[in-house]
Structure 1
Amino acid sequence: MPRVLISDKLSPTAVQIFKDRGVEVDYLPDLGKDKDKLLEIIGNYDGLAIRSATKVTEKILAAATRLRVIGRAGIGVDNVDVPAATARGVIVMNTPFGNSITTAEHAVAMMFALARQIPEANASTHEGKWEKNRFMGVELTSKTLGIIGCGNIGSIVAERGVGLRMHVIAFDPFLSPERAIDLGVEKVELDELFRRADFITLHTPLTDKTRNIIDISALLKMKKGVRIINCARGGLIVEADLKAALDSGHVAGAALDVFEIEPATAHPLFGHPNVVATPHLGASTTEAQENVALQVAEQMSDYLMKGAVQNALNMPSISAEEAPRLTPFVKLAEQLGSFAGQLTETAIKGLRIEYEGDVAEMNTRALTSAALTGLLRPLLQTVNMVSAPAMAKERGIAVEEVRREAVGNHEALIRLTVITERQERGVAGTVFADGKPRIVEIKGIGLEAEFAPSMIYVTNEDKPGFIGRFAGIIGDAGINIATFNLGRLAAGADAICLVAVDGAVPDAALEAVKALPMVRQAKALAF
C-alpha cells in the first residue's frame, strides 16, 4: 500500500480522500517547519503532500529514497526544487485552478480597502475617535483599472472590474484582441497601462521577465495618485522604490498580500498610513482550501494507485501503454513549441499544428498540450501539459490540429505555425531512429539540427564571410561551438543559422553578431 505524508496544514478532506482511495496517510501538519525531523522520516514515504511551509530541497529529496510524487495544494511551487525532483524521477504536481476565484476576490477587496481607507478608518473608529473628515476616499466607478497579467485570475478580476463600471485595461503578451473583447477590456502595452491607470493590480507569475516589473522607472511613468495592488507574488515590485513613491505622495496607496521575503514579520512598509497589508491570504478561504485539498489528494492517489498523471510540472500526461512510442514525440512537440515561443515577441493569435505520417495516428492531444506548454513557458513558467490548453483558451489563442498522411521524406513530421498580429512563423521537426528530436525546417527553409541546451538562432543574407565573422565573434567570447547548421532558400537569398554552443552566450557577443551587416536577427535560445 502506498504511503503519503501530509507535512503542512490541509483540509481533513484530503486525509479522507487518501484513505478512501486505498492510500495510507500520515497527517503531521507541523512537520514541514522542522527540517531535521522531515529529513529523518521522508525516506518512509511514496508521496508528500504540502502547501507552502514545507521546503522540499535537494537535501530532502536525496533522503527521500521511496518518494515518487510531490503534491502542492496550490499553484506556486517556489518551495520545491523541481529540477532536483526531476533528476530523481519524482513527479511534482500542483493544483493550478483551485484558488483562482478566491485570489481574485481578495485583490478586489484590497482595491476597495485602498479606495475607502477601510483599515485605517476601522482602527480609528475602534479607538473612539470618529474622524469622519479624515478619511476622504475615492469612487471606483469610472476609474481606470490596469491589470498586469490577464490569465485565469486576472480575467476574473477584469470581469469584476467591468461589473463595477470601471474602465479596464490589460497588459498580457498572450492576450489576444478577440479574448480582450470577450472580457470587455482594452488591451494595451505596459507603458500605456502605467500612464493611464488609476488602480494597478498584478496577476502574473514571478519569472525573469516579470521580476521587478514595477521599479522606480515604472513608478515615475504612473499618474500621480495611482494605487497599486499585489496579490500575486513577492518580487514583482521593488519594495524600496514603492516606499519612496509612497513617501513622496506620487503613489496614493498600496495593498500588498505578498512580499519578497516571507514570512514578513518586519518590513519598512509596515505601519505606513497608506499601505494595506495582509499575510498572503489570497487563497485563504474555506472554499479554496477545500478545493485544493480535494484536488491534490485525488491527483496523488490516482498516480500512486493507477499511474495516472495530472497537473504535473515535470512530466507529460501519458498512459503507460503509449509511453514508449509517444514520449520522444512529446519531447519534440514541446521543444518545437519552446523554439517558437522564445522567438515570438508579439501577441499570439493562433497555433496550427500539422501531424504528418505515423505521428498523425498517435495521441495528438498529448502532443498538442506539449507544444502549447513549450510555447507558453517562456512567460508562464508554471504551465504544464494539463493547464496549457486552458491557459491558451483563456488568452484567446486558437489552436488548430491538422492530420495527414506523409507528404515528404519523413515518416513522421510535426509542423508548428505560430500566428501573431504581425506574421506567421513555422518550424517543423521529426524523431530519427536514434530517438532524438530534430528540427528539419524553419520558415520554409530546410536544415537538420538537434536541440541543445544552449543555441544561437540567426537569420541572415546568404553572403560570403558570414560564417567566418560569426565564428570569430563566438570564439573571441570564449564560447565553444558544438554544432553548426545552415539552411537557405537559394544562393544569395534568405538563410538561417542554428548553432549549438557550450555554455551561455554573453550579451556582448550576441550584440556583436546582431551588428554584422548581413544579419537580420540573432537570438540566444535555451532548451
Structure 2
Amino acid sequence: MAPKVLISDKLSDAAVQIFRDRGIDVDFMPELGKDKEKLAQVIGQYDGLAIRSATKVTPSILEHATNLKVIGRAGIGTDNIDKDAASKKGVIVMNTPFGNMITTAEHAIALMFAVARQIPEASASTHAGKWEKNAFMGVELTGKTLGVIGAGNIGGIVCDRARGLKMKVIAYDPFLGEERAQQMQIEKVELDELLKRSDFITLHVPLTEQTRNILGRENLAKTKKGVRIINCARGGLVDEEALADLLKSGHVAGAAFDVFAVEPATENPLFGLPNVVCTPHLGASTTEAQENVALQVAEQMADYLLTGAVQNALNMPSVTAEEAKIMGPWIKLADHLGAFIGQMTEEPIKAINVLYDGYAAEMNLEALNCSLIAGIMKPISSEVNMVSAPLIAKERGIQISTTNQTQTGAFEGYIKVTVVTDKRERSIAGTVFSDGKPRFIQIKGINIDAEVGRHMVYTTNEDVPGIIGTLGMTCGKHGVNIANFTLGRKEAKGEAIALLYIDEPMPMQAIADLKATGLFQQIKPLEFDVA
C-alpha cells in the first residue's frame, strides 16, 4: 500500500505534485491545521504530516497519530511541534533549514541600505507632500566596515554580498577558523574589536544562553560612535531598551530590526524613534523562499517514506528502527558530551577526536558521531542537527577522527571526546549505566560519577577546604536547590572540579558572588536537553 501524507497548511501546488509523482497518496487540506479537533480525528490515517506554522502538533494530536512516521516542517522553526512527544512516538521531525538563507540575507542587506539612507522616513515625508530634500542626509556603504556576528550559512551570504558592495567585512564567530575566514575573504576578529571598528553591525546567530543579549548595554557602549545595527536573526540578541537609550543619545546613528524580544511586537522601546527601521519578521517572506521550503520538505518526506533516507531530522539520526531501540541512551549520551564541550569552548575548534570503548565501539558510530558533533555545535548554530552536523563541521574546516577499541577499563563501554583548539585541548568521557541513564565519568582526566541534569554548574578550583560550603551557601542564598553534587580531583591539594545538578538556572548574581570569593578559576553554567 502506498504511503499516505496529509498537508494541513498552505503549501504550493508543486509540492503536492512531488508527492503524487513519487507515488504517495496525498490529501491537501490547507485549512485543517487550524482545527485541532478535526485534525485529531483524521491524523491516524496518515504516515506523514506536512505543515508550516499554523498547524500545532501537540501531544494530544500525536496520541491519535497511530500510523504517523514523519512530520515535515516547511521552514526552519519547529516551535509548533512538540518534538519530545514526537520522539517518544517514534515520529521523525524534519525541517528545511537552508530554504530561506538567501532571502533572510537579502533582507538584512535591504535593511542596511534602508537605515543608511533613511529610506522609510524619506518615503513617508515625500508621500505627505513635504519634499524635505535636505532633511535626510545618508551615508554610503562603500568603504565602510561591516561587523558580522555569526558567519554561518546566512551570515556567510551577507559577508559575500557586503564584499560585493565594496565594504570591509570583519566577523566574530567562535566556530570560524582562520582558513575558512581566508576562503571567505573576510577578517576574523574578537567581539570587542568588532564592536570598536564596525560602522555597521549585523547579527546572524541563534538565540542561546551564550548569545542572549550579546549586544547588551555593556557591549553596546563599546561600539563606535555613529554605528548602525541590523538584526534579522532572533529577538533577544540585543538589549532593546539599552539600544533605544543610545539612539536617543546619538551614540548609535540608526537601527533596523526584523525581529524583537516579544512577538508579535505591538509596542517596543525602538518604535517611534528616528532612523529606526522596523519590519514584522519578514526575513523568510519571499515567494521564492516559500516555494523552496515547500518543495524541499516534500522531497525529504517522500525520500524517507519510500527509501528510509533521513535528511534534516531534528530528533533522530540516520539509524534503523532496531538500532534506535538499543542506541537511544547512547545517542543521548553523545549529545550530552558534545553539549558540555560546546558550551565550554569559546574559540574556534580545529579537531574533534572521539574514542569509543567496548560496547560503544560495536554500535553505529556514524550516528553517534552525528549526535555528538551536533551537541558540540548547537550552542552557536541553530541550523545544526544530527544529519547536517558533519557537513557543517567539514565546511568550517573541523577535522573529525574516530577510534574504537575493545573494553579497557571498569566500564563495559564508554565514549570519550577531545576537542582541540589553538589554545587548548578539552576532554570529557561518559557512559550509560544499567538504568539507561547517561553519566559523565571523567572531565579533564579527573574521574567523577555525575548524573546529567537540565541545569548544571561546572567549577574548577584548587583542592582547598571550603569549596563545598561556599557552593552550598551561595546556592542557598539565591534560592537554588541542588539535586546532585559531584566532586573530583587529581590529587590532594591539586586541581579539583565540581559539577552541580540544580533544579533551576543559576542566577547571574550567584555566579558573580562565587567569582568574588576568589576560590574558583572557572565557573560555567550549563544547560542540557534531558527530555
TM (normalized to structure 2)? Answer: 0.85
Q: Does 1:82 align with 2:86?
A: no
Given the alignment of the two structures, is residue 256 of structure 1 paired with residue 257 of structure 2, yes or no? yes
Equivalent residue, structure 1, for 2:428: 427
Residues 72-151 of structure 1 correspond to what in structure 2 (within 5 A)? 72-86=73-87, 89-119=90-120, 133-151=134-152
1:179 partner amino acid: R
**What amino acid sits opposite 1:351 in the alignment?**
I
Partner of 2:488: 487
Q: Deviations over 1:55-109 (max 9, x none)?
A: 4455655665655433221112233343454455543221111221222122223
Aligned residues: 527
Post-superposition Cα deviations, 1:9-65, rounded to whole Å, max 9, x if no partner, equal 222222112223343323233444556665665565443322234444556556656
> Does the aligned pair in 2 maintain the 1:152–1:391 contact within 8 Å?
no
Residues 56-455 of structure 1 aligned to structure 2 (within 5 Å): 56-57=57-58, 60-61=61-62, 67-86=68-87, 89-119=90-120, 133-263=134-264, 274-381=275-382, 383-455=384-456
Are 1:196 and 1:222, in contact at CA under 8 Å, matched by a contact in 2? yes
AA aligned to 1:316 is: P
Q: Percent identity?
A: 62
Q: How does 1:454-465 map to 2 (within 5 A)?
A: 454-464=455-465
Partner deviation per Cα, 1:430-450 (whole Å, 9 max, x = no partner): 344554433332212233334
- Look up the SS of the partner of 1:205 in the other structure: coil
Paired residue for 1:521? 522
User: Mean Cα displacement is larger for which, 10-19 or 80-89?
Assistant: 80-89
Question: Contact 1:453 / 1:526 at 8 angstroms: preserved in 2?
Answer: yes
Report the residue type matching 1:380 in the other structure: S
Instruction: Summarize the Cα distance change of 1:462–1:208 in structure 2 as closer, same or farther, 3 Å threshold.
Output: closer
- 2:498 matched residue in structure 1: 497
Choose 282-291 or 37-46, whichever is displaced more.
37-46
Q: CA deviation at 1:508?
A: 5.8
Instruction: Look up the SS of the partner of 1:291 in the other structure.
Output: helix
The code of the aligned residue for 1:172 comes to: D
User: What's the CA shift string for 1:481-521, capped at 9, x where partnerless?
Assistant: 55554433233322333444555555566566556665433
**Paired letter, 1:386:** V
Flag the 1:105–1:461 CA change in 2: closer, same or farther, 3 A. Answer: same
8 Å CA contact retained: 1:307, 1:320? no
CA distance in 2, matches of 1:521, 1:274: 42
Contact 1:313 1:382 in 2 (8 A): no
Distance 1:344 1:131, change over 3 A: same
What's the counterpart of residue 11 of structure 1? 12
Q: Secondary structure at the match of 1:298?
A: helix
**Structure 2 residues without counterparts, runs of 5 or longer:** none
Q: Is the 8 A contact 1:151 1:394 kept in 2?
A: no
CA–CA distance in structure 1, aligned partners of residues 480 and 126 of structure 2: 66
Tell me the C-alpha RMSD between the 2 structures.
3.6
Distance 2:504 2:460 in 1: 21
Contact 2:438 2:452 in 1 (8 A): yes
- The answer as to whether partners of 1:308 and 1:319 remain within 8 angstroms in 2 is no
Contact 1:206 1:235 in 2 (8 A): yes
Residues 264/7 of structure 1: CA separation in 2 closer, same or farther (3 Å cut): farther
Amino acid at match of 1:334: D
- Preserved contact between residue 335 and residue 374 of structure 1 (Cα < 8 Å): yes
Q: Distance in 2 between matches of 1:244 and 1:510?
A: 27
Cα distance between partner residues in 1 of 2:223 and 2:481: 45
Following TM superposition, by how much is the alpha carbon of 1:155 offset from its aligned partner in structure 2, in angstroms?
1.1
What do residues 257-283 of structure 1 show as CA deviations (whole Å, max 9, x unaligned)? 334455557777667663444443322
Give 3-state SS (helix, strand or coil) of 2:180's partner. Answer: helix
Q: CA 1:205/1:509 → structure 2, altered by over 3 Å: closer, same or farther?
A: closer
Relative to structure 2, which stretch is displaced further, 422-431 or 205-214? Answer: 205-214
Query: 1:402 and 1:163, CA in 2 relative to 1: closer, same or farther beyond 3 A?
Result: farther
TM-score, structure 1 normalization: 0.85
- Contact 2:205–2:380 at 8 Å: present in 1 too? no
What does 1:39-58 correspond to in 2, within 5 Å? 42=43, 45-57=46-58
- Separation in 2 of the partners of 1:483 and 1:412? 24
Cα distance in structure 2, aligned partners of 1:13 and 1:520: 58
Q: Residue 397 of structure 1 aligns to which amino acid in structure 2?
A: I
SS in 2 for 1:322: helix
Deviates more, 1:326-335 or 1:27-36: 27-36
Alpha-carbon distance, 1:219 to partner? 4.0
Ranges in structure 1 where 5+ consecutive residues have no aligned partner:
none
